[in-house]
Amino acid sequence: MPPLSRAFVKAGFVALLLGLLAEALLARPEGLWPGLPAAAIRLSALHLLTVGWLLQVITGVAFWMFPRHRDHPPRGSAAPGWAAWGLLNLGLLARVGGESWHLGAGGPRWPLQFSALLQLAAACCIAWLLWPRIRALAA
Amino acid sequence: MPPLSVWLLRGALCALVAGSALGAWLLAGEPLAGALHPALRDAHFTLMLFGWLLPFVVGTAYWMLPRHAGDAPRGSPGRTRLAAAAYTAGLAIRLGGALGGGETWVSAGTALLLFGTAGFITLFWARIKPFGAGRSAS
């Protein structure tokens, strides 16, 4: 398994744990973090599970297993993948923190806007990484 | 990789970028209480679940699951075309319904998505078997 795939899959599992932890926080006792609204936790949990876990595990496994090129390097350049990994995880952190701050304490919107930009850029990098590997195999 | 998988996977990547762009707009630009928010959120959900995730999984499964012996290694081409056509039409109709067509179109699109997905599942069902099983029979 190439290093980029390992990084995506491991980050995906961390996001899965954080997403489940956020889900568990929904059932917290009333006195615990009363300023943290359920809407912020629910949105964060949903995106940790779908973007953080599913998207990263799928990307990591696809980079590892999709048809390889005959010429060197066989999996193509990993640079867009590393960019996607950094942008996506930074974007997720900004989203989880920004959402809680914005909905819980009336914080500004700029962390969410920053997060939106990072995650959109990450999606474009993932498409750039995988697109050339999606092709019919030569007979 | 068979042409259907190439088509499904590339379409899924396009939906990922489009769905992310819509999600980014919802997160950064569209007010939570805005009139367009529910429609855009439904379109974002449709693109990310039925446009990106499901076709990516189906396209990969169609390519990688154990194949049958004989002329149709991945199952009946006619049923495959029917499932793919129903799924694509369902996605387009559901997306149009979410973006303003109304509940009827969302329901009709979802019904077609269900029909297409069920078609793919019936094709995959027989291919979920040990590698090599059924190959020596003919």
Which of B32, B18, B44, B24 has the alpha carbon at shortest distance from A94? B24
Chain A within 8 Å of B61 (Cβ-Cβ)? no
Q: Which of A49, A53, A120 to mutate to test the interface with B (most CBs of B within 10 A)?
A: A120
Chain B residues in contact with A124 by the CB 8 A cut-off are 17, 20
Chain A: residues touching B (Cβ < 8 Å): 50, 54-55, 58, 62, 65-67, 95, 109, 112-113, 115-117, 119-120, 122-124, 126-127, 130-131, 134-137
Give me the pLDDT at residue A40, please.
Answer: 85
Interface check B58 vs A, CB under 8 A: no
pLDDT digits (tens, 9 = 90+) for B88-124: 999 999 999 999 888 999 999 999 999 999 999 999 9
Interatomic CA distance for residues A95 and A102, integer angstroms: 10
Identify the CA nearest to A56 among candidates A88, A27, A30, A87. Answer: A88
Residue whose tokens read 């199952």? B75
Inspect the interface and report whether the beta carbons of B16 and A123 lie closer than 8 Å: yes
- The pTM assigned to this predicted structure is 0.91
- What ipTM, to 2 d.p.? 0.90
Place of tokens 């990484």: A129
Pair of tokens at residue B32: 């939570």
Looking at the predicted structure, is the pLDDT value of residue B34 above 50?
A: yes
To 10 degrees, what angle do helices B3-28 and A110-130 make?
A: 170
pLDDT, tens digit, 9 for 90 and up, residues A38-51: 888 899 999 999 99
Query: What is the share, in percent, of chain B residues with pLDDT greater than 70?
Result: 93
